Amino acid sequence: MITDTPPFGTHAPTTAQRLVIEACLSGPLSPILRRGAFRRPLARLVSALRPGPVDVARGALRYRLDPRDNAAEVGLLLDPLYQQVSLDFVRTHLPPGGVFIDCGANVGQYTLVGAEAVGPAGRVVAVEATANPMRRLRANAELSGLSDRITFAQCAVGDRDGELRFAVNAADTALSRADAAGDLVVPMKALTTIVSEAGLDRIDVLKIDVEGMEDRVLSAFFDTAPEGLWPRSICMEDELASDWQGDVRPRLAALGYETLSRRSRGNAFLVRTA
């Protein structure tokens, strides 16, 4: 449990900040303002009006957002439909008491939605390699009262246990990724190791967004994991499939995963039907 997180509302938006945020969320120009081309400049305006984090509620979930260096926080702050298609998939396939793994958890949007969906009897594992997003993720979980159902794993997820050289994107930490020339060395764990350490006996939904390493993570997992641990559903980023060492999708199909026709801009949705 975090003990040094100031209570929610400590960083409530100023009047001027609130006007900008509300114009994006629900004003008559919101369909235009929340487009990607406008979100960044408007986020900079929010930060210029008062530097530092901003506390916002999204339904029952509470976030402390600092949009200066993370595109996911910009989206959460200014776009009511941010990641909505993918989040709906996660909610639909997570039963009460279910198990959700979030690989590439960033500041926790999927993690918190998953924790809310599984309820107090469920389990969530949030995997995030870099320290700054992990700190924000933990704070958001605490502010939302969900920390007790989340296991936090600060490591990269890969095809083996070891270390990984990582490049932190200072302009957008959401895009930090494995890079042989990176300045940061982080611990790396195979997904089977993360699952074992968390004591899980099943996975209802796996969300994986690890900036072009999805193929290696999943290939190693299905090489070693017993069938009882195979996820029932997968939300997989394939936007960087050109960076994969091999296309994992045919293998997933052979293992009984159907790729749904509905998808988001960057994510494919798979459900095991075999």
Residue 78 pLDDT: 96
User: pLDDT tens, 178-212?
Assistant: 888 888 899 999 999 999 999 999 999 999 999 99
Q: How confident is the model at residue 220 (pLDDT cuts 50, 70, 90)?
A: very high
% residues pLDDT > 90 (the chain)? 87
Q: Which DSSP helix (H) or strand (E) runs through 149?
A: none
Tokens standing for 217? Answer: 């993570």
Average pLDDT, the chain: 94
User: Which residues are 177's β-sheet partners?
Assistant: 167
Tokens standing for 149? Answer: 């159902």
Residue 1 pLDDT: 40
**Residue 162 — φ and ψ, nearest 5°?**
165, -135
Q: What is the mean pLDDT of residues 236-257?
A: 96
Q: Is the pLDDT of residue 2 over 90?
A: no
In order of their start, the domains of the chain are: 15-78 (no CATH), 83-272 (3.40.50.150)
Tokens standing for 185? Answer: 């060395």
**Residue 267 — φ and ψ, nearest 5°?**
-120, 140
Q: What is the mean pLDDT of residues 95-122?
A: 98
Tokens standing for 190? Answer: 């195979």
Q: Is the pLDDT of residue 262 over 70?
A: yes
Which is it for strands 233-237 and 267-272: parallel, antiparallel or unpaired? antiparallel
Q: Which DSSP helix (H) or strand (E) runs through 142?
A: helix 131-143
Q: What is the mean pLDDT of residues 50-78?
A: 95
User: pLDDT tens, 4-54?
Assistant: 789 999 999 999 999 999 999 998 999 999 988 899 999 999 999 999 999
Are 158 and 190 a contacting pair, CB within 8 Å? Answer: yes
User: Which residues are 272's β-sheet partners?
Assistant: 257
Span between the terminal Cα atoms of the chain, in Å: 40
Q: Is the pLDDT of residue 118 over 60?
A: yes
Q: Which DSSP helix (H) or strand (E) runs through 191?
A: helix 191-198
Residues 65, 39: Cα–Cα separation, whole Å:
14
Residues 109, 234: Cα–Cα separation, whole Å:
17
**Residue 181 — φ and ψ, nearest 5°?**
-100, 5
